[in-house]
Structure 1
Amino acid sequence: MQRILTYRTLNLLLVFFSVVGMAFAVFYLQMYKGLEPCPLCIFQRVGLMVMGAFAFISAVFNPKKLVARLILWIGSMAGIVWSVGVAARHVWIQNLPPDQVPACGPGLDYWLEALPMKQVIDQVLAGSGECAEISWKFLGLTIPEQGLIFFSALILINLVLFWRIVKQRA
């Protein structure tokens, strides 16, 4: 089991799940089902891509120095923790009573063109009416709930990776 869960293998597993998650979102939900992602969905995808990018760099270069491994792990973990936080916020917005759901805004494209990045992030995290809409369920779970479970599993893989980093240096 020790040889299977190597530093490189765990990072490749994170890359694999990042690609699978993005492929599911783009090819199945967007292209096949015709669902357009809301701003919170897009932010969740960004975190998944950040995690995948750091894991890819880790897998390809397989750094030997503890500091390099920890920096890459922090980047990977930050990306997926971001996704978990945004997904949790998204689930919360979807469970608000109808009278408390935020009004629909002009959209992410407009915000990116007209506002500074901090305000864009604030606007997106505040949520909008389109983020509260439940457009598809699988096994009784909404897309953000599925994402929250998926991203939480990726955090667990990242924690196993951290354990491997620390154990190899001990």
Structure 2
Amino acid sequence: MMATLSTWSPRRWSLAGLAFCVLMLAVALGLEHLVGLEPCPLCIFQRVAVLAAALVLAVAALHNPIGRGGRLAYGGLGLLAVLGGIGVAGRHLWLQSLPADQVPSCGPGLDYMLEVLPLQDVLSMVLSGSGECAEIDVLWWGVSLPGWTLLGFLVLALVPLGLLWCGLKRA
């Protein structure tokens, strides 16, 4: 299996990662629009991280870098986006693990904050969390949605790591 993966081209790695990003976003949108689960601000930021990774991987797939530098650049940028998602999902899980008396109070909605506050303040408020982010709406096999998203990001991290491996192996 490892021998097969090591022969993958950067385009193949990128397309596999892009397909996984599409799957993650399709699940998120399905849960929102078909099941009726409203995303909290941290959920939206996790979607942004998936979109950022998808954008990097789409450009990498179109470019199909032959040289070492391109593979390392796309792998690094993709890994940066995925690590951001891992951080937000981890923060979300941490908020959900807090005892009820330590959960931050609910703040204004993300739309309102984006209209009224500077982006830096919005980021700070969202990452500090709110009561709605600490709610656990659904558990599948005992794992909440941020837990599944974290698992998705960990699987997705294999793609930029594969691109980095291809770039380093090429040296």
The normalised TM-score by structure 1 is 0.94
Are 1:18 and 2:27 an aligned pair?
A: no
Residue 63 of structure 1 and its aligned partner are, at CA, apart by: 2.2
User: Which residue does 1:40 correspond to in 2?
Assistant: 42
User: Which residue does 1:119 correspond to in 2?
Assistant: 121
Secondary structure of residue in 1 paired with 2:93: helix
- Note if contact 1:50-1:75 (Cα within 8 Å) is conserved in structure 2: no
Q: Which amino acid aligns with 1:100?
A: Q
Distance 2:46 2:133 in 1: 12
Higher relative contact order (CA 8 A, sep 6+): 2
> Root-mean-square deviation (CA), in Å?
1.3
Are 1:8 and 2:11 an aligned pair?
A: yes
Distance 1:93 1:2 in 2: 37
Instruction: Give structure 1 stretches of 5+ with no counterpart.
Output: none
Are 1:108 and 2:124 an aligned pair?
A: no
User: Which residue does 1:84 correspond to in 2?
Assistant: 86
Distance 2:15 2:149 in 1: 20
Q: Which amino acid aligns with 1:161?
A: L
- Note if contact 2:17-2:159 (Cα within 8 Å) is conserved in structure 1: yes
Aligned residues: 168
User: Which residue does 1:52 correspond to in 2?
Assistant: 54
Residue 54 of structure 1 and its aligned partner are, at CA, apart by: 0.4
- Note if contact 2:6-2:166 (Cα within 8 Å) is conserved in structure 1: no
User: Which residue does 1:165 correspond to in 2?
Assistant: 167
Are 1:99 and 2:66 an aligned pair?
A: no
Identity %: 42
Residue 61 of structure 1 and its aligned partner are, at CA, apart by: 1.3
Distance 2:60 2:161 in 1: 15
Q: Which amino acid aligns with 1:101?
A: V
**What do the CA deviations read for 1:45-90 (whole angstroms, capped 9, x no partner)?**
1011100110010011112233233222222111111000000000
Instruction: Give structure 2 stretches of 5+ with no counterpart.
Output: none
- Note if contact 2:75-2:162 (Cα within 8 Å) is conserved in structure 1: no
Report the more deviating stretch, 54-63 or 84-93.
Answer: 54-63
**Segments of 4+ moved more than 3 angstroms:** none
Q: Which amino acid aligns with 1:156?
A: L
The normalised TM-score by structure 2 is 0.93
